[in-house]
Amino acid sequence: MGQYTAPLRDMRFVLHELLDVTAELKALPAHAEVDAAIINQVLEEGAKFTSKVLFPLNQVGDREGCRLDLTAHEVATPTGFKEAYRQFVEAGWPALVCDPQFGGQGLPIVVHNCFSEMLNASNQAWYMYPGLSHGAYECLHEHGTPEQKALYLPKLVSGQWTGTMFLTEAHCGTDLGLLRAKAAPQSDGSCKITGGKIFISAGEHDMAENILHLVLARLPDAPSGTKGISLFIVPKFIPNADGTLGARNTIHCDAIEDKMGIHGNSTCQMSLDEATGWLIGQPHKGLNAMFVMMNAARLGVGMQSLGLTEVAYQNALAYARERLQMRSLSGIKAPDQPADPIIVHPDVRRMLLTAKAYAEGGRAFSSFVALHIDRELNHPDEAVRKEAGEMVTLLTPIIKAFMTDNGWIATSEAMQVHGGHGYITGTGIEQYVRDARINMIYEGTNTVQSLDLLGRKILMDNGAKLKKFGALVQAFVEENGTDEAMSEFVTPLADLGDKVTKLTMEIGMKAFQNPDEVGAAAVPYLRVVGHLVYSYFFARMAKIALGKLDSGDNFYKAKLATTRFYFARLLPETAMLIRQARSGAKPLLDLEAELF
């Protein structure tokens, strides 16, 4: 079955030593009373729940999958999932960061972010049920009417009801302007919605008494394209005015997708046959409202891969310490054994350190973004809120694409450490590889995220948002540039910052002549910027570690070694990526389509 222990020591390092979150939270009235003791206690309890309750169900969910009763259109989740959700609800976890007005605990996003990593590491498929519910909560919290909020939000906050989002149709995925689902207004203010949706995660299940579906559809007078999309809330059971369950709505699961991974989550094909729904927000502005949920989901997908990176690393490390294979090239390391443990071999170290570095870099990066979301939502200064929001906007596609790319790399390396035992199901490691692969696809493929970063987030505003992150890098370089002990980190960081600036200008100039240049450069460009972000955080972590090497705590020694590995063996990837991005569209478009 493997093992999982939440990396609490590194989480505390990131929150309290790297980001000093308690000082940051004091400037936010909603969180001013949240101190280190509260944060640590929440994370310790989260670690217990995820390791003891969720992790043992991970392989169960993978092997059993979900079962659909086609007659009743009901889905049974794997053994133990429903009971685990009951414990999750009873412990108050769904309410952790929700608005106290609707029964929430009102804790900061940055705390939930760490808990989210634990949930995904222990059981990604299970966490997709309540994870999507929180996205529905956020969308309704921002765009719902007072009546909708009063009716639905307390149920979502408590976990009594769950939520989903209905975007994809068989003929359209990313290009939502092609969707065909129809909404017919009724005299009572509701709408009758008809259409079919596919790839709906948690679209039907037995874990909660009701499911609130957020559905994109077109009103009769809707213009074509994305400007004609409206958003509706379509409950599985239509609630009565007092919140009790009423009639079963005409929205059903017709099939469960047979998938490569995340078997424990019911990925459904759903049909709506004049199902009753209610408009959320303004007519034809549904995509704007749904983007609240979509952006939350993109951040969540990044955390899925961070969780998988960590758990795969932990299991590969445990295996490498125990597995005996050959002798070290530099001499016998375990003379009392017939062979040395494979952790002595340099390339096994490379694979382990790759996963370890991508986990630690992702943890620092995602916590930084989560703290900026807290600022955006709660800081009393409008200018600070705006600036924080712009930073989150810039970094969201990097969290989604760079972290999921890295999760795929890390889980694959962890599987390789296991050798043949990684390829069979007994160790559980191959499941992480399968589960990690979907994260690069859904909630906007990583190519779409790359196009979004380069085309919309950077070139569209002439690099203004990127320059704000660049200012953080520059300030750190100037502050530490004369520190000889930091030169091994500051020099490559400054060099990459300059290269990103030049590459951005070069692509921008090419794009004026040929827009295809953006599409050709986008994917390697995002990875280059991702490495700039990670190198910034690793340099900051190195500074802390260098200052505490004499503390006697080996944690700092390990942190410094991991940072040196990152700069020596992972960051150099940017040289290749920059050459790829500069190669332009011509090598991709010269071959006529019919000659492929």
Q: Tens of pLDDT along the chain (596 residues)?
A: 799 999 999 999 999 999 999 999 999 999 999 999 999 999 999 999 999 999 999 999 999 999 999 999 999 999 999 999 999 999 999 999 999 999 999 999 999 999 999 999 999 999 999 999 998 999 999 999 999 999 999 999 999 999 999 988 999 877 777 899 999 999 999 999 999 999 999 999 999 999 999 999 999 999 988 899 999 999 999 999 899 999 999 999 999 999 999 999 999 999 999 999 999 999 998 888 777 777 788 899 999 999 999 999 999 999 999 999 999 999 999 999 999 999 999 999 999 999 999 999 999 999 999 999 999 999 999 999 999 999 999 999 999 999 999 999 999 999 999 999 999 998 999 999 999 999 999 989 999 999 999 999 999 999 999 999 999 999 999 999 999 999 999 999 999 999 999 999 999 999 999 999 999 999 999 999 999 999 999 999 999 999 999 999 999 999 999 999 999 999 999 999 999 999 999 999 999 989 99
Domain assignment present for residue 324? The answer is: no
Residue 139 sits in the same domain as residue 165: no
Residue 194 sits in the same domain as residue 139: no
Residue 133 sits in the same domain as residue 165: no
Residue 184 sits in the same domain as residue 274: yes
Domain assignment present for residue 415? The answer is: no
Q: Is 69 left (phi over 0), alpha (psi -120 to 50) or beta?
A: beta
Q: How many domains does the chain have?
A: 3
Residue 478 sits in the same domain as residue 569: yes
Cα–Cα dist 365/67, whole Å: 38
Residue 462 sits in the same domain as residue 579: yes
Residue for token pair 């790839």: 199
Residue 582 sits in the same domain as residue 456: yes
Among 85, 109, 143, the domain boundary falls at 143
Residue 124 sits in the same domain as residue 54: yes
Q: What is the pLDDT of residue 52?
A: 98
Taking alpha carbons only, the member of 123, 112, 138, 142 closest to residue 39 is 112
- Report the DSSP beta bridge partners of residue 546: none
Q: What is the pLDDT of residue 437?
A: 98
**Degrees, nearest 5: CA angle 461-465-468:** 140
Among 284, 303, 337, the domain boundary falls at 284
Q: To which H or E segment does residue 399 belong?
A: helix 382-417
Q: CATH no. for residue 223?
A: 2.40.110.20
- Other C-beta atoms within 10 Å of 188: how many? 8
Sign, CA dihedral 396-398-400-403, equals: negative
SS3 147: helix
Domain assignment present for residue 178? The answer is: yes
DSSP string, 484-527: GGGHHHHHHHHHHHHHHHHHHHHHHHHHHH-THHHHHHHHHHHH
In this structure, are residues 164 and 205 in contact, taking their beta carbons and an 8 Å threshold? Answer: no
Domain assignment present for residue 404? The answer is: no
Cα–Cα dist 75/77, whole Å: 6
Residue for token pair 């332009």: 584
Domain assignment present for residue 122? The answer is: yes
Q: What is the pLDDT of residue 271?
A: 97
Q: CATH no. for residue 75?
A: 1.10.540.10
pTM check: above 0.95: yes
Q: What is the pLDDT of residue 367?
A: 98
Residue 216 sits in the same domain as residue 182: yes
Residue 158 has which token pair?
Answer: 């408590």
**Degrees, nearest 5: CA angle 381-474-377:** 25
Q: What is the pLDDT of residue 176?
A: 79
**Chain centroid to CA 399:** 7
Residue for token pair 């000082």: 23
Domain assignment present for residue 360? The answer is: no
SS3 331: coil
Taking alpha carbons only, the member of 276, 150, 143, 135 closest to residue 202 is 135
**Degrees, nearest 5: CA angle 484-485-491:** 70
CB-facing half-sphere around the CA of 94: CA atoms within 13 A: 33
Domain assignment present for residue 253? The answer is: yes
In this structure, are residues 540 and 504 in contact, taking their beta carbons and an 8 Å threshold? Answer: no
Q: What is the pLDDT of residue 286?
A: 86
Catalytic residues: 443
Among 251, 268, 284, the domain boundary falls at 284
Cα–Cα dist 42/107, whole Å: 10
Residue 224 sits in the same domain as residue 276: yes
Residue 455 sits in the same domain as residue 577: yes
**Domain, as residue range, for 224:** 161-284
One-letter amino acid of 429: I
Domain assignment present for residue 248? The answer is: yes
Residue 208 has which token pair?
Answer: 């909660």
Residue 265 sits in the same domain as residue 205: yes
Residues with Cβ < 8 Å from 552, sequence gap 6 or more?
none
